[in-house]
Amino acid sequence: MSTMPDEVVAGGGSPFGGGPSRRGGARVLEAAFLREPRRHHQVIFWCAVAWISAVVFAALFANLLPLARYDVIIPGLKPSMAPHLGFPEPLGTDVPPLPPAKVNRVLGEPGKGFPNTADFYPSASIRLDEMGVVVVRGCVDSTGRLTSDPTLVQSSGKPRLDDAALKLARAGSGHYRATTEDGKPVSSCYAFGIRFDLRN
């Protein structure tokens, strides 16, 4: 019995398409195994590409999200609660306060009707030719009246003149010009000088 060579038949019963196939079970299985790994390799390749793309996208998204520092307003969410909920702390919470507005302050001084030094010049100082400047400090309310007794800030070196200056300052209550802030009279304390001079 002679052995016939395998015959190629066009459009045969190949399980993988309508192309030519070889007769004989061994040849058919051999062809199937030669082509099937190629399809498996393609599937594995595209799965790997998809997996790598997903990992790269997730990494980029995770790195860019904190940079966005979104300003989404969530009702009832306080800034101190954000870190506990996994949100980044809102921006602008450490903004320094605005500096206070500048106030136009004009310091007070003895005003109209203030006593004259000649009326308080001690007679003994006149005989002894004592002269000098006494600096006193007075606390005045918004109406120009003293709120406490004046105090000595700088002595003239002559005790009689120092005492006379304090008496003069007390007598001037109601005749002080009050300190003003933006044009409004306010209570304040300030120092001023009283000169005793026999040459004038």
pLDDT digits (tens, 9 = 90+) for 162-179: 999 999 999 999 999 999
**25 falls in which pLDDT band (50, 70, 90)?**
low
Q: Does 144 reside within a domain?
A: yes
Other CB atoms within 10 Å distance of the CB of residue 169: 25
90 with 27, same domain? yes
129 with 159, same domain? yes
Which residue type does 28 have? V
- 132 in Cβ contact with 96 (< 8 Å): no
pLDDT at 36 exceeding the cut of 70? no
125 with 148, same domain? yes
Q: Does 9 reside within a domain?
A: no
187 with 109, same domain? yes
CATH number at residue 126: 3.30.2420.10
Tally of domains in the chain: 2
pLDDT of res. 10: 40
Three-state secondary structure string covering 44-78: HHHHHHHHHHHHHHHHHHHHHHHHHCCCCCCCCCC
Looking at 95, 114, 140, the residue that finishes a domain is 95
Alpha-carbon distance of 147 to 153, in angstroms, equals: 17
Host domain of residue 31: 14-95
pLDDT of res. 17: 46
Mean pLDDT of the chain: 76
118 with 156, same domain? yes
Higher pLDDT, 111 or 82: 111
Looking at 76, 95, 114, the residue that finishes a domain is 95
50 with 81, same domain? yes
